[in-house]
């Protein structure tokens, strides 16, 4: 494997790291690369070598084999064209078809076919230009595909991976060590059927669009995080993906899972910029149907589940910009439903409602950070949150829990006094619980909750709540003040 990786990486390693010797003589430079590969034991051959007036080099009938003969790469032709404008920049193109042949002593020969339309790869710093302000990697193709396998193969029974309108760019600044890039495809299809030492994995799926962008400092210095949080450097990772579908199965001695599913897409974003930090994840509606689900000899009958969406957000300032600014925290799971086959395992008599499950907490606050990022430990290591941030107010935008026919909501807000050395809230939160008694009675009837514990829980709720406008509804006004915390005027025991 080490020698196979050497084949794939030697050219790039030379281009980006070797002393400048070829001075944009790409023809001579390419000969040097082939000579180095041969000296490492690789076998390189071609039917014809064409050198153009523009300094381009084309190898016709190109073949390269690893030193131990376990892998061979072949192409009808491969061509590199040096840039007439940018020193050290070379653009490579590949024939519409190429192959990678893997010879495994235990499993035999496996051939991976590569097809492309309009594939180009442009690299900076190949011959000269390594001292440029930025070094770039650019890859694009109208289509790119990898196919392999046959039903009689002992490992790879099927493989078909395809991309359309692929575009990738990566830039690196040696002075700042800043690494940034993008990756975009219009669509992707993945089919595979693999025989593993202890089982099988197979899938047939599609994805309508994928985009990925990032920027970060490309070293492992722990102080990079301080640079991001202090606003000195911008860093981000952003992923967006479209609708997808899949049919898949996993089989091994401990697991048998088979399912079909689809999802509406979503996004994941992490960004630190100008003294603000945000993490946002939005996942759209999804539907999955499991025809088989057996883990560790514990089979579950076929079932379906669906969800309307998932959202997670944490955002706010990390630097004092001279005023209080909004921070947000949201966790939301909406519209989760499962099929009757799962409910009936514990509740065949339908004592519990099958209503969708929702779990939502959406909070916001006005805050002002106090951290000195030149010495963050002074604030973050004290153990007192008031040393790190002042909170002006807190708002409950939405709190919603629904399950088994019960529904709990909360609304309210509070102002915060920071003068006492710790954040002290003054305000009111109204909590409304409906259908809780019916749910508790249902849990008791199916044996999940003992009667005495259910009675204790309901007694505690009634002690700090008042009847609402509807049957089986309770309301509690929780008030915060310098005198203490009360629920409907009754002091809470803390």
DSSP string, 186-246: SEEEEEEEEEETTEEEEEEEEES-EEEEEEEESS--TTHHHHHHTTSS-EEEEEEE--EEE
472 to 351, 353, 406, 438, 453: CA distances (angstroms): 16, 15, 9, 7, 19
Helices and strands counted in the chain (H then E): 7, 32
Q: What is the pLDDT of residue 494?
A: 61
Q: Ramachandran region of residue 149, left (φ > 0), alpha (ψ -120 to 50) or beta?
A: left
Structural element, H or E, at residue 338: strand 325-338
Q: What is the mean pLDDT of the chain?
A: 90
Asked whether residue 321 falls in the same domain as residue 428, the answer is: no
Q: Are 60 and 76 in contact (CB under 8 A)?
A: yes
Q: Which of 319, 354, 389 is the last residue of a domain?
A: 354
Q: What is the pLDDT of residue 1?
A: 39
Checking if the pLDDT of 23 tops 90, the result is no
Instruction: Write the pLDDT tens digit of every residue in 46-68.
Output: 999 999 999 999 999 999 998 88
One domain, residues 346 and 359: no
Domain membership of residue 267 as a residue range: 2-354
Residues 181-222 pLDDT 10s: 999 999 999 999 999 888 999 999 999 999 999 999 998 888
What's the pLDDT at 5?
37
Residues 350 and 404 in one domain: no
> In this structure, are 370 and 274 located in the same domain?
no
Do 286 and 415 reside in the same domain of the chain?
A: no
CB 241 within 8 A of CB 210: yes
Q: Is residue 236 pLDDT above 80, yes or no? A: yes
Over the stretch 357-394, which tens digit does the pLDDT of each residue have?
Answer: 999 999 999 999 999 998 888 888 877 888 889 999 99
Averaged pLDDT for residues 155-179: 95
Predicted local distance difference test score (pLDDT) of residue 10: 40
| Candidate ranges 10-24, 101-115, 125-139, 312-326; pick with highest mean pLDDT | 312-326
- Which of 73-87, 155-169, 479-493 is the least confident region? 479-493
pLDDT one-digit tens code per residue, 458-478: 888 888 888 989 899 999 999
Residues 209 and 329 in one domain: yes
End residue of a domain, out of 354, 386, 420:
354
Strand pairing of 71-82 and 97-104? antiparallel
Q: With contact defined as beta carbons under 8 Å apart, do 159 and 199 qualify? A: no
Q: Residue 325 in contact with residue 341, Cβ under 8 Å?
A: no
Same domain, 347 and 302: yes
Percent of the chain with pLDDT over 70: 95
Do residues 391 and 365 touch, judged by C-beta distance below 8 A?
yes
The answer to whether residues 365 and 390 belong to one domain is yes
The three-state secondary structure class of 28 is helix
Q: What is the pLDDT of residue 21?
A: 36
> CA 112, CA 101: separation in Å to the nearest integer?
6
Q: In this structure, are residues 126 and 153 in contact, taking their beta carbons and an 8 Å threshold?
A: no
Count of other CB atoms within 10 angstroms of residue 38: 13
Give the DSSP per-residue string, 388-434: TEEEEEEEEEEEEEEETTEEEEEEEEEEEE-TTSS-EEEEEEEEEEE
Please check whether residue 126 is in contact with residue 137, taking contact to mean a CB–CB distance below 8 angstroms.
no
Chosen domain end from 303, 338, 354? 354
The C-alpha atoms of residue 239 and residue 267 are separated, in whole angstroms, by 6
Number of domains making up the chain: 2
Please check whether residues 256 and 331 belong to one and the same domain: yes
Average pLDDT of span 30-49: 90
Whether residues 312 and 409 share a domain: the answer is no
Asked if residue 420 has pLDDT above 80, the reply is: no
Looking at the fold, whether 345 and 359 belong to one and the same domain comes out as no
Mean pLDDT of 2-14: 39
The DSSP secondary-structure symbol of 308 reads S
Burial state string for 197-219 with b = 16 or more CB within 10 A and e = fewer than 16: eeeeebbbbbbebbbbbbbbbee
The CA–CA distances, whole Å, from 210 to 17, 192, 449 equal 32, 20, 46
Structure tokens at 472: 């089986």
Residue 354: other Cβ atoms inside 10 A: 14
Confidence tier at 285 by pLDDT (50, 70, 90): very high
Same domain, 209 and 331: yes
Tokens of 134: 């930025």
The per-residue pLDDT for 13 is 38
């Amino acid at each position: 494997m080490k020698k196979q990786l050497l084949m794939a990486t030697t050219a790039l390693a030379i281009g980006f790291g070797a002393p400048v010797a070829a001075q944009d003589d790409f023809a001579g430079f390419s000969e040097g690369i082939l000579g180095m590969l041969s000296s490492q034991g690789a076998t390189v051959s071609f039917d014809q070598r064409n050198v153009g007036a523009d300094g381009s080099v084309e190898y016709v009938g190109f073949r390269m084999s690893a030193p131990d003969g376990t892998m061979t790469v072949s192409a009808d032709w491969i061509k590199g064209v040096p840039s007439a404008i940018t020193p050290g920049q070379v653009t490579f193109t590949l024939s519409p078809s190429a192959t990678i042949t893997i010879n495994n002593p235990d499993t035999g020969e496996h051939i991976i076919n590569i097809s492309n339309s309009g594939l180009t790869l442009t690299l900076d710093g190949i011959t000269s230009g390594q001292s440029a302000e930025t070094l770039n990697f650019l890859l694009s193709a109208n289509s790119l595909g990898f196919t392999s396998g046959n039903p009689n193969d002992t490992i790879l029974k099927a493989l078909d991976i395809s991309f359309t309108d692929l575009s990738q760019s990566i830039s690196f600044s040696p002075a700042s060590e800043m690494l940034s890039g993008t990756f975009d495809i219009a669509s992707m299809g993945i089919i595979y059927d693999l025989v593993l030492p202890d089982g099988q994995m197979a899938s047939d799926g599609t994805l309508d669009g994928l985009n990925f962008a990032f920027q970060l400092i490309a070293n492992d210095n722990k102080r990079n995080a301080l640079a991001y949080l202090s606003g000195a450097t911008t860093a981000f990772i952003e992923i967006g993906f479209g609708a997808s579908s899949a049919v898949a199965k996993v089989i091994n001695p401990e697991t048998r899972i088979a399912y079909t599913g689809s999802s509406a897409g979503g996004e994941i974003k992490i960004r630190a910029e100008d003294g603000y930090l945000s993490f946002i994840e939005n996942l759209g509606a999804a539907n999955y149907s499991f025809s088989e689900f057996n883990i560790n000899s514990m089979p579950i009958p076929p079932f379906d589940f669906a969800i309307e969406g998932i959202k997670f957000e944490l955002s706010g300032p990390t630097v004092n910009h001279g005023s209080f600014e909004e921070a947000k925290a949201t966790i939301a799971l909406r519209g989760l439903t499962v099929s009757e086959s799962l409910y009936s395992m514990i509740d065949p008599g339908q004592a519990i409602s099958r209503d969708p499950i929702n779990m939502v907490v959406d909070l916001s606050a006005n805050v002002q950070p106090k951290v000195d990022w030149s010495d963050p430990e002074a604030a973050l290591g004290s153990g007192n949150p008031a040393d790190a941030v002042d909170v002006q107010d807190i708002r409950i935008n939405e709190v919603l829990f629904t399950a088994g026919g019960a529904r709990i909501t909360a609304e309210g807000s509070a102002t915060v006094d920071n003068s006492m050395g710790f954040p002290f809230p003054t305000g009111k939160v109204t909590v409304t619980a409906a259908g809780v008694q019916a749910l508790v009675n249902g849990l008791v009837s199916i044996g999940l909750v003992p009667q005495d514990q259910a009675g204790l829980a309901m007694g505690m709720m009634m002690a700090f709540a008042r009847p609402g406008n509807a049957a089986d509804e309770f309301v509690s006004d929780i008030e915060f003040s310098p005198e203490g915390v009360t629920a409907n005027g009754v002091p809470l025991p803390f």
